[in-house]
């Protein structure tokens, strides 16, 4: 009997709202795409987006950037990271995070994770003490928020400057507080596979006026910083405007228009994502051979992807299982592969880091961790079919 095959692509996003398309066309007709190319008394799309996103996020200041990775780099720089400075970071993340540290000349100090994909706060404590690092770049990898009470206690104990990478947690919360509102600065991504889609793009948010002014000037405002939206007062800029280097990473009007049309529906989309995620999580939770961590009650997550461990399989069988699912249209990524594949890489493949540590829990957890995108183009029925295919295929690889 022929086995059913799932036919929808795992990389297909929803269309940009019509209002965003129409506004982008209007902007293209003017030819004024650069964020500072404005008519007299014209606010501009990028500035309007900064105001609207800052209000939604609950932050005082927002800088619209070319990418989430650039926003991380900018955040590290304005917080004071200099060449040779050590920066703590969780080892389970994606390559742009250690790449951002490397870009500013910092030295990554990788921290182990726990069984639930969170940074291990005990190892963070130990690494902070041993390294003398004064910065923590926390990646909420794949939307998993750690125990922020414990993490902030470690930050306070060692006076760590917290920079939050919220690429996977736009809209997520811990005890009702949005991710991105715990540290000194936060970086967000609007790359295609994130919660808002502008192809590439991102935000830097902060409540620190001087850091915000530095970030605006360093994003490439020249002396046109007054054309930004959510910014501090002129006297703050007078302090920093000649001292902040220009790194040219500003957002343009086209992408801002695309994002402005998505912001009003973001809350609804977060709810839709979690309906799909919760359906898959329930199915994986009852599946033989599969382990999926429960979510903490204090955490409001945003399930745009899902991770589980094929614990019932021998490690050598995992790539065969992934290939079998792929033949039936289900795209899984394996974080335990020795070789980086597509967007997926393991921390010990980042060879530009000197003295790569052995992190036993990270290696053991990732050894059988599988990752799957959950685009909003899927339905509940699609989730049921995907889970059925995964369950069917994993049974064939479980030991007798």
Instruction: Give the angle subtended at the CA of 217 by the CAs of 216 and 221, to the nearest 5°.
Output: 90
| Cβ atoms 134, 161 nearer than 8 A | yes
CATH topology of domain 18-264: 3.40.640
pLDDT of residue 22: 98
What are the φ and ψ backbone dihedral angles of 373, each rounded to 5 degrees?
Answer: -70, 150
159: Cβ contacts below 8 Å, ≥ 6 apart = 134
| Cα distance between residue 26 and residue 305, in whole Å | 34
SS (H, E, C) the chain: CCCCCCCCCCCCCCCCCHHHHHHHHHHHHHCCCCCCCCCCCCCCHHHHHHHHHHHHHCCCEEEEECCHHHHHHHHHHHCCCCCCCEEEEECCCCCHHHHHHHHCCCEEEEECECCCCCECHHHHHHHHHHHCCCEEEEECHHHCCCCHHHHHHHHHHHCCEEEEECCCCCCCEECCEECCCCCCEEEEECCCCCCCCCCCCEEEEECCHHHHHHHHHHHHHCCCHHHCCCCCCHHHHHHHCCCCCCCCCECCHHHHHHHHCCHHHHHHHHHHHHHHHHHHHHHHHCCCCCECCCCCCCEECCCCEEEEECCCCCHHHHHHHHHHHHHCCCCCEECCCCCCECCECCHHHCCCCCCCCCCHHHHHHHHCEEEEECCCCCCHHHHHHHHHHHHHHHHHHCCC
pLDDT of residue 311: 96
pLDDT of residue 104: 97
Pairing between strand 185-189 and 202-206?
antiparallel
What are the φ and ψ backbone dihedral angles of 377, each rounded to 5 degrees?
Answer: -75, -5
Q: Where in the chain is the domain with CATH 3.40.640.10?
A: 18-264
Q: Where in the chain is the domain with CATH 3.90.1150.10?
A: 265-397
| Cα distance between residue 267 and residue 280, in whole Å | 20
Low-confidence ranges of the chain (pLDDT < 50): none
Distances (CA, A) of 299 to 8, 94, 242, 248: 30, 22, 42, 36
pLDDT of residue 341: 79
| Cα distance between residue 332 and residue 322, in whole Å | 6
| Cα distance between residue 138 and residue 97, in whole Å | 9
Q: Which two three-digit tokens encode residue 36?
A: 């500072």
| Cβ atoms 154, 183 nearer than 8 A | no
Instruction: Give the angle subtended at the CA of 275 by the CAs of 269 and 279, to the nearest 5°.
Output: 150
pLDDT of residue 107: 97
| Cβ atoms 378, 276 nearer than 8 A | yes
**Quick one: CATH architecture of 265-397?**
Alpha-Beta Complex (3.90)
CB count within 10 Å of CB 32 equals: 17
């Amino acid at each position: 009997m022929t086995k059913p095959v799932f036919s929808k692509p795992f990389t297909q996003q929803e269309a940009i709202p019509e209002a965003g398309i129409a506004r982008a066309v209007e902007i293209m007709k003017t030819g004024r795409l650069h964020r500072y190319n404005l008519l007299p008394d014209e606010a501009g799309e990028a500035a309007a987006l900064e105001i609207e996103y800052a209000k939604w996020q609950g932050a005082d200041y927002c800088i619209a950037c070319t990418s989430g990775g650039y926003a991380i780099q900018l955040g590290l720089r304005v917080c004071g990271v200099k060449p040779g400075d050590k920066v703590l970071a969780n080892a389970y993340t994606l390559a742009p995070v250690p790449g951002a540290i490397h870009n500013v000349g910092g030295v990554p100090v990788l921290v182990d994770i726990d069984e639930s994909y969170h940074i291990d706060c005990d190892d963070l404590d130990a690494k902070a003490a041993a390294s003398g690092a004064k910065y923590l770049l926390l990646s909420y990898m794949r939307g998993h928020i750690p125990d922020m009470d414990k993490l902030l206690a470690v930050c306070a104990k060692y006076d760590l400057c917290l920079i939050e990478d919220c690429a996977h947690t736009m809209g997520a919360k811990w005890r009702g507080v949005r991710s991105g509102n715990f540290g000194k600065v936060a970086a967000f991504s609007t790359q295609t596979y994130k919660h808002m889609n502008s192809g590439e793009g991102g935000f830097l948010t902060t409540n620190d006026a001087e850091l915000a002014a530095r970030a605006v000037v360093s994003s490439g405002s020249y002396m046109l910083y007054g054309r930004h939206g959510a910014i501090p007062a002129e006297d703050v800029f007078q302090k920093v405007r000649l001292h902040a280097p220009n790194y040219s990473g500003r957002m343009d009007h086209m992408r801002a228009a695309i994002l402005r049309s998505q912001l009003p529906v973001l809350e609804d989309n977060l709810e839709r994502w979690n309906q799909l995620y919760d359906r898959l999580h329930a199915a994986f939770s009852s599946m033989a051979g599969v382990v999926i961590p429960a979510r903490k009650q204090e955490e409001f997550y945003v399930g745009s992807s899902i991770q589980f461990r094929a614990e019932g399989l021998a490690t050598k069988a995992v790539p065969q299982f992934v290939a079998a699912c792929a033949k039936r249209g289900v795209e899984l990524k394996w974080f335990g592969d020795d070789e980086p594949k597509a967007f997926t890489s393991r921390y010990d493949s980042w060879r530009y880091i000197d003295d790569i540590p052995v992190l036993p829990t990270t290696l053991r957890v990732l050894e059988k961790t599988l990752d799957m995108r959950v685009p909003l183009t899927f339905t509940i029925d699609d989730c049921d079919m995907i889970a059925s295919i995964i369950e069917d295929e994993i049974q064939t690889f479980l030991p007798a």
